[in-house]
Structure 1
Amino acid sequence: MDIKILAIGSLDKKYLIMGCETFFERIKHYAKLEIIELKEVNNKNEQVKINDQTALVIKKLLDYSEYYKVLLSSQGQILTSEQIAAYIKEVKDFKKAKLLFIIGGSHGFNNNELLSKVNFQLSFGAITLPHKLCRLVLLEQIYRSFKIINNESYNK
């Protein structure tokens, strides 16, 4: 399986870098994984920043037309870990085994522009997560999903 994470911005906190590296190494036993970081647009006008970052992601999505695209969004569907695992397994088994997760920047995206370009919206709940922490949570859930799919124990 080929999984890519398209993320706005790079990690700058040591604890996030270490956590992401840990799960990245664990996931490599189950799937090919790549994190693509797009530079965060630097503009004081929030709406311009959102629109520019949305356009940047839409342009980048052209490189991944054969991938099943999942947008992490507060308006997305909330799934349990077991449901996320089932979703990943379905993509692995029936949708060319190519999966692209999209994580926005600190101000998010213009969803009106982006929604028609993705296959699914996923939410990690009603809480607000910083976008950089969201990457760590996503990696943990991907790793947990592979443990569930393979009926392996997961040390909690």
Structure 2
Amino acid sequence: MRLRVVAVGKPRLAYAQLGVEEYAGRIRRYAPLEVHFVKEARELLPRAEGHRKVVLDERGRLFTTEALLRFLEGWEGERVAFLVGGAEGHPEAVRREADLLLSLSPLTLQHELALLVLLEQLYRLLTLRAGHPYHRP
């Protein structure tokens, strides 16, 4: 699976900047990953063209880590783009184009934190797929 993460706005908070760098590096040991930052939500869909689109949205589907892994294994060999909105969330046009609306939590997460949680979970999914123990970072 080839992964692309497209997020509105570069992380400004120090913890988010460091976390994105850390987890992007970890993920790249297991799968190709591109991370793109765009200025506005209307730029998300063009950056995801030709990919399955997973749109992060608090109204989306909740998964356990293992269930999300099983779901994404159905897209093995495909290009998958994860779209992270900015402070205003996603426009309806982006939600309509989603192959999956994914909620990371029933709580509303600040968009930089959501980006970091997404990357941590992608790393965890890839390590599980590689046969590593679940509890290890």
- Same topology, TM > 0.5: yes
Could you tell me how far apart the structure 2 residues matched to 1:90 and 1:75 are?
22
Superposition deviation, residue 116 in structure 1: 2.6
Asked whether the 8 Å contact 2:9–2:39 carries over to 1, the reply is yes
Q: Which runs of 4+ in 1 moved over 2 A?
A: 55-58
Could you tell me how far apart the structure 1 residues matched to 2:109 and 2:102 are?
13
1:140 has 2:127 as partner: no
In the alignment, which of 38, 50, 53 is matched to residue 66 of structure 1?
50
Asked whether the 8 Å contact 1:30–1:146 carries over to 2, the reply is yes
1:12 has 2:9 as partner: no
Aligned length: 136
Could you tell me how far apart the structure 2 residues matched to 1:56 and 1:142 are?
23
Summarize deviations over 1:66-124 as a string: whole Å, max 9, x none: 211100001100000101111222211xxx4210000001011222x223312110001
1:15 is paired with a residue whose SS is helix
1:106 has 2:106 as partner: no
Q: Which amino acid aligns with 1:121?
A: L
1:88 has 2:99 as partner: no
When you count helix as a share of all residues, which structure comes out higher? 1
1:121 has 2:101 as partner: yes
2:59 is paired with a residue whose SS is strand
Q: Equivalent residue for 1:57? A: 44
RMSD over aligned Cα atoms: 1.5
Asked whether the 8 Å contact 1:86–1:149 carries over to 2, the reply is no
Asked whether the 8 Å contact 1:88–1:145 carries over to 2, the reply is no
Could you tell me how far apart the structure 2 residues matched to 1:146 and 1:56 are?
27
Q: Which amino acid aligns with 2:44?
A: V
TM superposition score normalised by structure 1: 0.80
Unaligned runs of 5+ residues in structure 2 are none
Choose 1 or 2 for highest CA Rg: 1
Overall identity of the aligned pairs, in %: 28
Unaligned runs of 5+ residues in structure 1 are 41-52
Could you tell me how far apart the structure 1 residues matched to 2:131 and 2:29 are?
15
Asked whether the 8 Å contact 1:66–1:98 carries over to 2, the reply is yes
